[in-house]
Amino acid sequence: MGEAAEQMTGDKWVYRFGGGSADGNTGMKNLLGGKGANLAEMARLGLPVPPGFTLTTAVCTAYYDRGETYPDGLEKEVNEALAAVEKETGKVFGDNDNPLLVSVRSGARASMPGMMDTVLNLGLSDVTVEGLAKKAGERFAYDSYRRFIQMYCNVVLGMKHDIFEHILDDYKERFEYNLDTELSADDWKEIISQYKAAIRKQLGKPFPDDPHEQLWGAVGAVFGSWMNDRAKLYRKLNDIPAEWGTAVNVQSMVFGNMGETSATGVAFTRDPSTGEKVFYGEFLINAQGEDVVAGIRTPAPISRSRADAISSDEAPLEEAMPKVYNELVEVANTLESHYRDMQDIEFTVEDNKLYMLQTRSGKRTAAAALKIAVDMAQEGLINEEEAVLRLMPGQLDQLLHPTISADAKRDVIVKGLPASPGAAVGKVVFSSDEAAERAEKGEDVILMRVETSPEDIHGMHAARAIVTSRGGMTSHAAVVARGMGRPCVCGAGGLHIDAEKGVFRSGGREFKKGDIVTIDGAEGEVLSGEVDMVNPDLSGDFGKLMEWADRARTLKVRTNAETPHDVETAISFGAEGVGLCRTEHMFFESERIPVVRSMILANDKKGREAALSKLLPMQRGDFAEIFRLMGERPCTIRLLDPPLHEFLPHSEDEMAEVAKSAGVDIEVLKRQANELHENNPMLGHRGCRLGITYPEIYEMQARAIFEAAVQIAKDTGYSPIPEVMIPLVGTRKELDILKEKVDATAQAVFKETGTELEYLVGTMIELPRAALQAGQIAETADFFSFGTNDLTQTTLGISRDDAARFLKDYEDQGIYEKDPFVTLDQDGVGELVRIAAERGRKTKTGIKLGICGEHGGDPASVAFCHRLGLNYVSCSPYRVPIARLAAAHAALQKADA
Amino acid sequence: MGEAAEQMTGDKWVYRFGGGSADGNTGMKNLLGGKGANLAEMARLGLPVPPGFTLTTAVCTAYYDRGETYPDGLEKEVNEALAAVEKETGKVFGDNDNPLLVSVRSGARASMPGMMDTVLNLGLSDVTVEGLAKKAGERFAYDSYRRFIQMYCNVVLGMKHDIFEHILDDYKERFEYNLDTELSADDWKEIISQYKAAIRKQLGKPFPDDPHEQLWGAVGAVFGSWMNDRAKLYRKLNDIPAEWGTAVNVQSMVFGNMGETSATGVAFTRDPSTGEKVFYGEFLINAQGEDVVAGIRTPAPISRSRADAISSDEAPLEEAMPKVYNELVEVANTLESHYRDMQDIEFTVEDNKLYMLQTRSGKRTAAAALKIAVDMAQEGLINEEEAVLRLMPGQLDQLLHPTISADAKRDVIVKGLPASPGAAVGKVVFSSDEAAERAEKGEDVILMRVETSPEDIHGMHAARAIVTSRGGMTSHAAVVARGMGRPCVCGAGGLHIDAEKGVFRSGGREFKKGDIVTIDGAEGEVLSGEVDMVNPDLSGDFGKLMEWADRARTLKVRTNAETPHDVETAISFGAEGVGLCRTEHMFFESERIPVVRSMILANDKKGREAALSKLLPMQRGDFAEIFRLMGERPCTIRLLDPPLHEFLPHSEDEMAEVAKSAGVDIEVLKRQANELHENNPMLGHRGCRLGITYPEIYEMQARAIFEAAVQIAKDTGYSPIPEVMIPLVGTRKELDILKEKVDATAQAVFKETGTELEYLVGTMIELPRAALQAGQIAETADFFSFGTNDLTQTTLGISRDDAARFLKDYEDQGIYEKDPFVTLDQDGVGELVRIAAERGRKTKTGIKLGICGEHGGDPASVAFCHRLGLNYVSCSPYRVPIARLAAAHAALQKADA
């Protein structure tokens, strides 16, 4: 039922459930809250739900609209509902013989941890406790009574726990009791009277003995808790409007702690870790729900098979209460087929009778989600599209990388940002050269740096994982590591690296170079020693689900890659093209970097051209290899982007070495490096600005691309379609000038080789100005690729390398809900993307639009791209499956809506 | 006449003028070009214009539309016009007795230096030269003929000058002539025959002897020149559409070089240097127009009074040709009253008869522009609004600063960017400390640095002028220098400063510390030695014109200032408020910086608060002084903006000093500085991000503001209205959080002091995201101030500190017409300003909008702000008058349109 339709039913404040029927149903979560709607649904299904009723969220809204008073008619409806519960249970609220006791719980639309705790056993008083005693024994009754008083005073009357704890502790000390269980009914009676005296003293009035007063007190407390600071903060952080309100669930009590014929437990209809189709759960005899969660007693498994699997000595429910067990299995089956999803259920057994207290879709691991989705589709319970929607794209990461074994002992040295998932073990090294050397000898190494730069690429490649003490989720280390599929922990501020001394310190501990650590990239943790890992199992289920996903999506998925290895990985993960080949990554290889440096240090165009002519065959070879691997898939190649000083050495030692090998005076080198230094390199002399000032660089690159494409066309018989991408364009004129040069180079190569090929020339939209001017730029551009990394930096004015220092505070204070470098900021950056897409298309209908920032692998951002109707997203190889799944979700959800 | 109306008259291709009438008039510049329209107008006025005709710009357009052929009917119209000229002059085109000779000149709508040169004496041939010889003597005729051949071959036939020069040189060598004047008519005849032989050899055909062929050749050359590379580039750079086309002016020749009764000259109706109402000009007896400009002979002044003034021995025109002089004065008066502006006229006297060849509004110095505008308004020739429009805002700069005397000899050491106008003399120093020390002793110093940083503020204040070898028009040095009104030359790349050795070098010369130099900030030059200067004369005219301007404008003008001295300067220049008080500038003073540093180096909030409590009274004092000076004018105070590391020392030496004085280990200091280091500080931990992470800093500043305001309110009886401005906001939540803190601080201060004041809390819009989210942000903000410096940096993705390296290339290649840090990029940054203004107003009608970037003092940008309906612009004190005048222009032009 839609929200609007529900609000029309606002003339009814109270919805009953129980006894095989209910006023509400599971579709009414907005009105009844999640818990209330599911209780109603279970009652409708004829399941044994303790009867009760729900005060709707509309009551909450009305309560606040009316200056914290209840709407007319509410009291009457509550009394009628209570009467129905009395009738159903045969108990009477406030009765001294067979009293009805209830629980009172909040229940909002969305789960809200900031809300009021539960009040149990409400209805107990000096009068009704006698009734309970008759039924369940005196000690049980008085123990329940004093618990209720404590809970009520705390939750409803706002008193502190310690008042009651002091009384209890003093009493136990006086009578030399050690455990609560040693106290008798009379002891509890005495304590209760002390409690009540303390309450009267603090509040100036007695504890409410009238169950109705208690009930309204609890209801008021739930509504009040909607506006407490915790709840407000939580709503602010999660963008939940205050108008939603909370519901209140009042339900007759059942007791799992009334002796050996009573029990309480939780169960899953399938194994939430593996997804296996086995009934899975835990229970405790003679206990209340809270006890299972609290972990004081170890619960027993529900089924014999599970008990065997974990070698449990405890009798499973299957044997301890076979009748209840069978009934529970039947309920579980009913619920799963009804909800068509794996259910997480809570139950209580009171005196051998089963009661259902809760059901909801169960949380599960990624592996379980995959298996359950595929199994259910194959069982015919859901269709393939639904199966696709059951696996969250974000979970896929867990399936693609090794992970730390769940049972492993973790000795955390330091925690940082979970920059790139996966786990790895190795010896710590502090330099990329050492990483490369040791890796060549077959050692597993972990590269640990304050931060990384393009000069570290070889070390990062050689390393099993990367750790940095500085930088955010989209720092150089994080981006490159994700691209390579290396686990990475970034911005581990607690880490102090002293590379000179060959040690690192954290939390007072010191480790040496060569010490073994394990990296948990998914958690952002560095663990001491070697920790057990689980390898990914990309079984048939994975392939099957991805196939279904591909069938559903319309958005293409490409990859950001430049090495043959990455390109191959991406293809194996289903990439449909290269969306971003960063040519400069090829410049850092050890035999090339001296040539690149001699190009930079050349004093004139002639000197630069000499160096470029040496680079030409190298780049041609790179491109040829990529074209060969990609077959007929499209390849977008970005011309040189970073500022030239990134290629120069930084430290004194490296300078000396480079000066020596280049035959240049070190002072000259230093001066040149200093002249190239920039205050804000992100906003400096880079991207197409290099192409404008040093056209010979772009000409060499264009030549390498076209020569490689022609060569492959000749070798293989099929024609690659290169997409030449000019970065950092801010005005149409830049693109005009550079496209002219690319075209001229293409024509020259075609003439020289006698082979003509199709090709495109386009641009990245990564500056706000480019987005605003997209209509003009589209006159020249064949395609746009949204470079949302840089577009985020410029639109938000945040350097991703420097953001770590404040972005944490920003997330904590709810300024940015999510790291904008991970999930596209749709209101800001997204609006520019939308404007650019709109204006670009207005000029050139059908202009090819893609995205190649890190966001291309983020599910929410992929959905956004789908909604804008982009042609493709491009992401690092290991995120290709995530993007494929996310694109399918977006398409299916859009079709839904 | 409007453009559309003119294009309707396109059925007529040729417009005649001369003999007291004309087909066209001065309003038809689009059709006739500037020159043609004014010739027509002069003819209409009955002035002695040699008759002629204009082929319209429509001919040019038709010529290109029709594949470079002339439209039907053109030839007939030309022949008819030619016949009319023949009739009017009594001469005949191609006649061997009394030949008509003409000049052919291009003439576009806008002056275009890239266009074709003039062809004079067209119509000469072996036949007609005889006719000219009869009239003007044989030597004159043949000299004219060989000049015409040379000119025609070069301009029309595309031959190189040197072919003719070789022939002439060889001839002179052979006959041992030194000067051209030594050659006889026969010599010229011989040379002409050699010329013709050379032409036939090179072109394979003879020089055209038919005057009609010559005429169409010259017309075709003018139209062809419209599409030559120089003209195309010029149009590209100046956004002139190719469709405009050029006109061609054909005019009968008159000769100023026909002996002692002939002359040629140029004149201004008022003195273009001073504006004085005197007839001003120069002339040469027996000369052609070109000779006056060429400067081979020194022209004589026109009037006796001028001749006396410059002690000229030459007879002025007034005495040499009194009749002609009187006629010329009358013509000048006619033209000035007709055009209602000072005219720049060209005239020729042929055999004692005066001819007018050109009139146009004369270029003038700023001082002259001011005086002429005020005088003309007082003479009743123009009204006050017109007078305001006659002074270009950009010229005002010249009036406000000392300037280098026009007659001074300039020995230029190095040229850089004209970063801040004005001139100054002093001794060169290389450090701010030394600048301060020497200035205290009364020395005039020039501070010369590679670049400046906030630590140099005291040195910049102490110096008479600043020179840097690095940084653009909006580098730190440039911005601060303009703010202080100090002359500044920036980015003088040719300058090599060796501060250690105490020398600087440029172009092979070396200078020492202490050497005297003169800075010309308006030209961007560093001159050797002391050069004469002229002090600004802010006479009554200036005040009068500014008063008229103020009456016309609607945009308010505020100032960016924080020191009492700057605030006073700004008030004297007419500032109506402070638009930007950068509180951090106050942090750099020598007694404060140690406290600021101890705040930064504090390990916790407590330590920071201790330091802040020392800063509080200092800041309070600053604000109190500003409030006192500003009276009831509004003051916008921006809370701390720059990243904290800007306040830490950078060099090893300074580190040691700071560590010592702060009692901190230098290694600790280094580590902390290193931790605060940012890769892109522009996009780093600054602005409101500091307020979010260190709320105590903003709380201190807010307290200082409110305590100061309350104090001034108590002292003076009037209430300052502080406008607290939060910088670098990107999302509404940032502002929500920080406004809450400012409000709380305000309430606390009001409660403590028992005084309540009005105040505003607003934000800078300086990030693209803020502009896009302006609708949301306006819910919290009382005002927006567009920080277009940073908005330009982020929108364009260009760091102004690093832009110098490529922005020159960008301007040269026409990518950015103007430095976007000087003139607002209206298509990109401007669109964001427009979006923000629109969305802000939609949320909060009447929200106060201003601009406080450097653009606030740039006339084109001020006009843009006016069009958007902003409330005010704010600029550095010395630009306040410019902004006032620019705002008036904008208002008057808008009213016009």
Residues 727-756 of A with CB under 8 A from B: 728, 730-731, 733-734, 737
Chain B contact present for A829, CB below 8 A:
yes
Instruction: State mean pLDDT over B257-274.
Output: 90
Chain A contact present for B799, CB below 8 A:
yes
Highest mean pLDDT among A667-676, B110-119, B534-543, B771-780: B771-780
> Can you read off the two tokens belonging to residue A163?
């008042």
Beta bridge partner(s), residue B119: B104
Q: What single string gives the DSSP state of each residue in A814-881?
A: TSSSS-TTTS--TTTHHHHHHHHHHHHHHHSTT-EEEE-SGGGG-HHHHHHHHHHT-SEEEE-GGGHH
pTM of the model: 0.81
C-alpha to C-alpha distances, B198 to A871, B121, B173, B177, B202, nearest whole angstrom: 66, 21, 19, 22, 6
Instruction: Identify the band that residue A294 occupies on the pLDDT scale cut at 50, 70 and 90.
Output: low
> pLDDT value at position B292?
67
Chain A contact present for B176, CB below 8 A:
no
Instruction: Identify the band that residue A809 occupies on the pLDDT scale cut at 50, 70 and 90.
Output: confident
C-alpha to C-alpha distances, B440 to B443, B449, B461, B564, B644, nearest whole angstrom: 7, 20, 11, 19, 30
3-state helix, strand, coil in chain A (%, to 5): 50, 15, 35
CA gap B123, B114 in Å, rounded: 25
> pLDDT value at position B694?
94
Task: List the single residue in A767, A806, A816 with the smallest CB-CB distance to B796.
Answer: A767
Distance from the Cα of B644 to chain A's closest Cα (Å) equals 12
Task: Collapse the DSSP code of B717 into the 3-class scheme (helix H, G, I; strand E, B; otherwise coil) and give the result.
Answer: coil
A474 neighbors A801 (Cβ within 8 angstroms): no
CA gap B853, B791 in Å, rounded: 9
Residue A509: partners with Cβ closer than 8 Å, 6 or more residues away:
A413
Q: What single string gives the DSSP state of each residue in A282-302?
A: EEEES--HHHHHHTSSPPEES
> pLDDT value at position B237?
64
Q: What single string gives the DSSP state of each residue in B726-764?
A: ETT--SHHHHHHHHHHHHHHHHHHHHHHT-----EEEEE
Q: Tell me, what amino acid is at A233?
A: L
CA of A809: which chain B residue's CA is closest? B693
pLDDT of B596 above 70 = yes
CA gap B603, B580 in Å, rounded: 31
pLDDT over 70, % of chain A? 97
> pLDDT value at position A539?
64
Cross-chain Cβ contact A802/B766 below 8 Å: no
CA gap B278, A443 in Å, rounded: 92
pLDDT of B474 above 70 = no
Distance from the Cα of B489 to chain A's closest Cα (Å) equals 19
- In chain A, what residues touch B816 (CB-CB under 8 Å)? 731
CA of B493: which chain A residue's CA is closest? A675
CA gap B753, B821 in Å, rounded: 44
Exactly one of A488, A581, A635, A852 is catalytic; name it: A852
Which range has the worst mean pLDDT, A784-793, B110-119, B499-508, B634-643? B110-119
Chain B contact present for A801, CB below 8 A:
yes
- In chain A, what residues touch B794 (CB-CB under 8 Å)? 683, 768, 794-795, 797
Backbone dihedral region for residue B311 (phi beyond 0: left; psi -120 to 50: alpha; all else: beta): left
ipTM score of the complex?
0.80
Residue A150: partners with Cβ closer than 8 Å, 6 or more residues away:
A161, A164, A195
CA gap A609, A591 in Å, rounded: 18
- In chain A, what residues touch B667 (CB-CB under 8 Å)? none
Exactly one of A401, A476, A855, A866 is catalytic; name it: A476
Instruction: Identify the band that residue B295 occupies on the pLDDT scale cut at 50, 70 and 90.
Output: low
Cross-chain Cβ contact B679/A829 below 8 Å: no
> pLDDT value at position A664?
80
Nearest to B761 by CA among B772, B745, B775: B745
Give the tens place of pLDDT for each residue, B657-705: 888 877 788 888 888 888 888 999 999 999 999 999 999 999 999 999 9
Task: List the single residue in A680, A728, A806 with the smallest CB-CB distance to B680.
Answer: A680
Catalytic residues of B: 476, 852
Q: Which residue has the tokens 């970065």?
A: A727
> pLDDT value at position B400?
83
CA of A772: which chain B residue's CA is closest? B828
- The 8 Å CB, 24+ separation contacts for A318-325 are A320/A263, A320/A285, A321/A263, A321/A349, A321/A352, A323/A352, A324/A263, A324/A349, A324/A352, A324/A353, A324/A354
Instruction: State mean pLDDT over B610-638.
Output: 95
CA of B826: which chain A residue's CA is closest? A769
Angle between helices B138-155 and B211-225 (to 10 degrees): 40
Instruction: State mean pLDDT over A710-722.
Output: 93
- In chain B, what residues touch A768 (CB-CB under 8 Å)? 768, 794-795, 797, 828, 832
Chain B contact present for A672, CB below 8 A:
no
Chain B contact present for A651, CB below 8 A:
no
3-state helix, strand, coil in chain B (%, to 5): 50, 15, 35
Instruction: Identify the band that residue B366 occupies on the pLDDT scale cut at 50, 70 and 90.
Output: confident
Give the tens place of pLDDT for each residue, A329-340: 999 999 999 999
A450 neighbors A469 (Cβ within 8 angstroms): yes
A465 neighbors A448 (Cβ within 8 angstroms): no
CA of A451: which chain B residue's CA is closest? B679
Cβ atoms < 10 Å from Cβ of B515: 15
Distance from the Cα of A742 to chain B's closest Cα (Å) equals 17
Chain B contact present for A723, CB below 8 A:
no
Cβ atoms < 10 Å from Cβ of B73: 12
A781 neighbors A850 (Cβ within 8 angstroms): no
Q: What is the DSSP letter of A100?
A: E
Distance from the Cα of A622 to chain B's closest Cα (Å) equals 30
Give the tens place of pLDDT for each residue, A736-787: 999 999 999 999 999 999 999 999 999 999 999 999 999 999 999 999 999 9
- In chain A, what residues touch B773 (CB-CB under 8 Å)? 827-828
Residue B895: partners with Cβ closer than 8 Å, 6 or more residues away:
none
User: Which carries the bigger pLDDT value, residue A473 or residue B533?
Assistant: B533
Residues 675-694 of B with CB under 8 A from A: 678-685, 689, 692-693
CA gap B264, B279 in Å, rounded: 16
CA of B794: which chain A residue's CA is closest? A794
B499 neighbors B385 (Cβ within 8 angstroms): no
> pLDDT value at position B5?
36
User: Which carries the bigger pLDDT value, residue B310 or residue B519?
Assistant: B519
Q: What single string gives the DSSP state of each residue in B28-81?
A: GHHHHHHHHHHHHHHHHTT--PPPEEEE-HHHHHHHHHTTS-PPTTHHHHHHHH
pLDDT of B8 above 60 = no
Cross-chain Cβ contact B684/A790 below 8 Å: no
- Residue B772 CA, chain-centre distance (Å), reads 32
Q: What single string gives the DSSP state of each residue in B174-201?
A: HTT--SGGG--HHHHHHHHHHHHHHHHH
Distance from the Cα of B690 to chain A's closest Cα (Å) equals 8
> pLDDT value at position B590?
77
Cross-chain Cβ contact A685/B794 below 8 Å: no
> Can you read off the two tokens belonging to residue A608?
């630069």
pLDDT of A295 above 70 = no
pLDDT of A293 above 80 = no
Give the tens place of pLDDT for each residue, B318-333: 999 999 999 999 999 9
Q: Which of A674, A692, A802 would best serve as a mutation to test chain B binding (most B beta carbons within 10 A)?
A: A802
Angle between helices A666-676 and A593-601 (to 10 degrees): 80
Q: Which residue has the tokens 């509180």?
A: B583
Distance from the Cα of A848 to chain B's closest Cα (Å) equals 23
Q: What is the maximum span of chain B, computed from C-alpha positions, in angstroms?
A: 105
pLDDT of A135 above 90 = no
